[in-house]
């Protein structure tokens, strides 16, 4: 099994996977696989794992019980290119190790993110995020044009300041958040799964989710068994609070649901959609 896993992972090393209009994700290197997780767990548990006869069952057990240290034995390193506003969300995951392109020492390239027409959405009236209901095509095209004009003007000003001899670290300060940046990013599998749990959530920003979806597929090549376990146990998991657990018991017993108002709405949404509210 390990030989096949390594062979699949080797096929995608250094292969860029396109994301958004100009971004990419590239797996630079990795350490370990499903086999490494199992080996680390068996050293830790000793004879305690004798009842778990298969690697898949052991990995499922570790995931369910939140025994995270064996997953930390697997480490992945990525080369990523993304808009700065996405990168600023990315660095909130502090367990990752990161080295980013420097605008102090390099001239930034004229590469900006312009969302596709179908990704240009209005603001939700009752929520903090976008509505995910695209505006009319003609309006979307106008918005794209306005974004490009602003980006071009900002970059022309940036280049002009550099040509006049201004320090690069000063010239860059008016560049917009849509500018693309690049960085190397390394994270162990346990924290990578936690990253994916948050960033694959329907409430995460669309652009971030698109990167997370590609990361998930890359991780699947390196650790297919652990990734399948993560998807089943962590990613699709919905947590219920004490009141909701009591409501579930009552409903299953044929009693009336004691929840009302917003609490009932949240409970029913969890049950119907499988999404955390």
**75-83 and 97-100 beta bridge pairing:** unpaired
Annotated active-site residue 199? The verdict is: yes
Q: Name the nearest CA neighbour of 73 among 163, 161, 190, 230.
A: 190
Euclidean distance between CA atoms 77 and 97, whole angstroms: 9
Euclidean distance between CA atoms 62 and 38, whole angstroms: 9
Q: Of the listed 92, 199, 209, 250, which one is catalytic?
A: 199
Do the beta carbons of residue 270 and residue 244 sit within 8 Å? yes
Taking the CA atoms of residue 168, residue 169, residue 171 and residue 173 in that order, the dihedral angle to the nearest 10 degrees is: 150
Do the beta carbons of residue 211 and residue 16 sit within 8 Å? no
Do the beta carbons of residue 63 and residue 231 sit within 8 Å? no
- Residue ranges of alpha helices (H) inside 91-188 are 137-163, 168-171
Structure tokens, 9: 């992972």
Do the beta carbons of residue 104 and residue 169 sit within 8 Å? yes
- Residues with catalytic roles: 199
């Amino acid at each position: 099994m390990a030989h096949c896993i390594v062979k699949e992972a080797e096929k995608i090393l250094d292969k860029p996977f396109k994301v958004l209009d100009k971004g990419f994700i590239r797996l630079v290197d990795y350490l370990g696989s499903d086999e490494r997780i199992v080996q680390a767990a068996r050293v830790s548990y000793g004879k305690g794992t004798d009842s778990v006869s298969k690697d898949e069952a052991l990995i499922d057990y570790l995931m369910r019980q939140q025994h995270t240290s064996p997953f930390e034995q697997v480490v992945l390193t990525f080369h990523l290119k993304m808009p700065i506003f996405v990168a600023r969300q990315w660095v909130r995951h502090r367990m990752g190790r990161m080295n980013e392109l420097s605008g102090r020492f390099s001239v930034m390239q004229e590469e900006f993110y312009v969302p596709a027409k179908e990704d240009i959405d209005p603001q939700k009236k009752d929520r903090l995020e976008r509505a995910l209901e695209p505006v009319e095509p003609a309006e979307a095209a106008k918005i794209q044009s306005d974004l490009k004009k602003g980006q071009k003007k900002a970059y022309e000003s940036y280049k002009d300041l550099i040509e006049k001899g201004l320090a690069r670290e000063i010239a860059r300060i008016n560049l917009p958040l849509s500018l693309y940046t690049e960085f190397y990013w390394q994270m162990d599998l346990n924290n990578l799964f936690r990253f994916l749990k948050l960033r694959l959530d329907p409430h995460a920003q669309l652009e971030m989710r698109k990167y997370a979806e590609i990361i998930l597929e890359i991780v699947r090549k390196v650790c297919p068994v652990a990734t399948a376990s993560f998807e089943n146990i962590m990613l699709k998991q919905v947590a219920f609070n004490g009141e909701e657990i009591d409501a579930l018991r009552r409903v299953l017993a044929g009693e009336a649901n004691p929840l009302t108002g917003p609490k009932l709405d949240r409970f029913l949404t969890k049950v119907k959609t499988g999404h955390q509210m």
